[in-house]
Structure formats: C-alpha cells, structure tokens
C-alpha cells in the first residue's frame, strides 16, 4: 500500500464517519417509522441495504401506510431519488478514469453527502480514486444499516408515536430538506405551487395522488417560468409566486 493510498483511506474514513454521525438520527428514525408503518425490522433493514437513500426510504415507508398502489410507491421513490441523475451527471468528469465495474459499484453508494464530498475533493484538485469512493461510501453505509436495526428494535417498543412526538419528525425533516434547496432558481414559486397543489389534490382527489399532482404543479411552474440567465437578475419570480 503506497502512502498516497493510506492517506486516501484515512481521509475517506474520517469524512465518512462524520457523515454517518450526522445521518444517524435519520437511520434510527427510519427504523422506528418503518415499524410504526407496518414493516418488519428485516424489511426496514433490507430497504436500507438496497435503496440506501434516506429521504426516499422515508417517503416510501410513509406511503406504505396509506395503502397506496405499489407502482405509485415505486414511482414516488424514483421521483424523490431523481436528483441522483443530476449528481451522477455532475461527477462524471471525476470518475471517468474508473473501470466499468468500479463505476457500477461506486455509483451504488452515491448519496447527497457522497456527491458533496466527491465534488469537494475534485475542486481541491485531488484525485477521486476507487478506494477513496468505496471507503467513504462504506463508512456511511455500514452505520446506516446498523442504526436502521437499532431504530427498528426501538420502534417495536414504542406504542403510540404521537405520545412521544415522533409523528412530527417526518414532516419537519422534509421541510428542512425543502428549505435546504432555497437558493435554487424559482424555489419559492415551485414550493408554493407544490404546496397549494398538494393540499388541493389531497382535498379533491385523495391521499396518494396529492404527491404526484402537487409535484407536477411545482415542476410545471419551474419549466414555464422565465429562465434564470446568469447576466440578468431573476425578475418577477417572487411577485408571481406570491400573487
């Protein structure tokens, strides 16, 4: 093992553990919420192992409880994870030197923090090697699995989620994610369109459909609004959104 490789492993592990600590409440939360929504500990763990995408796992589990059509659950998971398309497109130049199987395996571990750390390393002019990607990924993946089991076992002990207040954690968590995107172009009109759209769809159409119909409203607004040119200020978007 060269000193360079050792340094890569150490860097990836250190960063991965930091991410794992930050993500740990969500792994426990996912485990607990899964049990609350009728999944078994084994099913929750399998979901963590194969999807390995926190937000979409929570969305999927939330929909299980609403007795939503299976294809709609899968479509919702796909929709929430759609951002990964942009991530893998963005990191393409940094991982082009990898072999086919190296790309195929390291992309399985592509999450929001994995993406952010990869971009940061490439920005710093450092090489994004296969070993670095895999150590970073697995030092998040393994704790994620273990804490899902812990959360699931705790969830079995918890009776009524309202009594200990975990029922609000999910909507607050999603709101936090939505707010995290607030520097993006047309964020306010998109959020308002999706918010109003989903509440109206919930009222007039019914539970599972508010997700796709509301999301469609937001995406349509983004596609139709004036495009955000770099050399001109984004005029009028806020006024339109609040009208």
Partner 1 sequence: MENMFHMQTLLIVAAGAVATYLTRVGGYVFITRMKRIPPRAEAALNAVPAAVLTTLVAPAAITGGWDVSITMAVAFLVGLRLKLLPMLAVGWVVVMLLRRVIG
If the CB atoms of residues 12 and 110 are measured against partner 1, the closer one turns out to be: 110
CB of residue 137 to partner 1, shortest distance in Å: 11
Stretch that binds partner 1, among 125-133, 141-149, 168-176, 233-241 (CB under 8 A): 168-176
Residues 29-68 that bind partner 1 (CB under 8 A): 39-43, 46-47, 50-53, 55-56, 59-60, 62, 64
CB of residue 186 to partner 1, shortest distance in Å: 7
If the CB atoms of residues 126 and 213 are measured against partner 1, the closer one turns out to be: 213
Contact (Cβ atoms closer than 8 angstroms) between residue 220 and residue 205: no
Residues 131-150 that bind partner 1 (CB under 8 A): none
If the CB atoms of residues 120 and 206 are measured against partner 1, the closer one turns out to be: 206
**Distance in angstroms (rounded) separating the CA atoms of residues 95 and 104:** 11
Contact (Cβ atoms closer than 8 angstroms) between residue 186 and residue 202: no
Site for partner 1 contains 28 (CB under 8 A): no
Q: Supply 123's token pair.
A: 């920005």
Assign 231 to helix, strand or coil. Answer: coil
Residues 93-132 that bind partner 1 (CB under 8 A): 95-96, 103-104, 107-108, 110
Beta strands in the chain (DSSP E): none
- Judged by CB under 8 A, the residue of 118, 129, 148, 186 near partner 1 is 186
Stretch that binds partner 1, among 6-14, 69-77, 133-141, 230-238 (CB under 8 A): 69-77
**Distance in angstroms (rounded) separating the CA atoms of residues 36 and 160:** 8
If the CB atoms of residues 146 and 169 are measured against partner 1, the closer one turns out to be: 169
Q: How far is CA 89 from CA 23, 137, 211, in A?
A: 24, 18, 26
DSSP per-residue letters across 95-135:
HTTS-HHHHHHHGGG--HHHHHHHHHHHHTT----HHHHHH
């Amino acid at each position: 093992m060269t000193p360079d490789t050792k340094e890569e492993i150490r860097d990836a592990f250190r960063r991965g553990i930091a991410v794992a600590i930050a993500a740990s409440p969500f792994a426990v939360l996912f485990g607990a919420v899964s049990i609350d929504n009728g999944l078994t500990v084994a099913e929750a763990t399998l979901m963590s192992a194969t999807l390995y995408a926190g937000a979409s796992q929570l969305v999927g589990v939330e929909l299980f409880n609403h007795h939503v059509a299976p294809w709609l659950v899968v479509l919702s998971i796909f929709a929430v994870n759609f951002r990964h398309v942009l991530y893998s497109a963005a990191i393409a130049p940094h991982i082009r030197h990898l072999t086919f199987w190296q790309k195929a395996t390291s992309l399985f571990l592509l999450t929001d923090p994995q993406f952010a750390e990869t971009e940061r390393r490439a920005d710093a002019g450092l090489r994004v090697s296969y070993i670095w990607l895999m150590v970073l990924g697995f030092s998040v993946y393994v704790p994620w699995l273990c804490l899902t089991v812990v959360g699931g076992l705790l969830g079995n002990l918890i009776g009524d989620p309202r009594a200990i207040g975990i029922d609000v954690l999910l909507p607050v968590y999603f709101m936090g994610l939505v707010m995290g995107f607030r520097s993006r172009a047309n964020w306010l009109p998109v959020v308002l369109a999706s918010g109003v759209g989903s509440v109206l769809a919930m009222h007039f159409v019914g539970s599972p459909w508010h997700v796709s119909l509301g999301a469609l409203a937001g995406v349509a607004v983004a596609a139709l609004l004036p495009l955000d040119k770099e050399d001109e200020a984004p005029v009028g978007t806020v006024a339109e959104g609040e009208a």
